[in-house]
Amino acid sequence: MPSLSDIQTNFKESSVIYDREGGQLYTFHGGDENRQYIPYDQINIRMTQAIVAMEDQRFFSNIGFDFFGIARSAITCAMGGQCGG
């Protein structure tokens, strides 16, 4: 097995080394980020709702299109504001 200092990673998610009995021996990550994958069904519902609320307050109440948002964007663009992303 290589030395832990010789292992380099470019992955965004942390890597974990386990022993043969399933015990965690070491965790390493590249850069300053220590990320761990969490399945969607294990994310707290309040976290999900907070992220959605920041991005689109009417997300759960429209039919897939936010006509108010589309109209607001069209008016802003027509008035010389920033158009597009």
Q: Give tens-digit pLDDT for 22-75.
A: 998 988 776 677 777 788 899 999 998 888 888 777 887 877 788 888 898 899
80 has pLDDT over 70: yes
Query: How many domains, the chain?
Result: 1
pLDDT of residue 21: 93
Inside any domain, residue 34: no
Token pair listed for 21:
């009995």
Residue 70 is part of which domain span? 40-78
pLDDT of residue 35: 74
Inside any domain, residue 13: no
18 has pLDDT over 80: yes
Inside any domain, residue 11: no
Token pair listed for 70:
């589309």
9 has pLDDT over 70: no
20-46: string of b/e by CB count within 10 Å (b at 16+)?
eeeeeeeeebbeeeeeeeeeeeeeeee
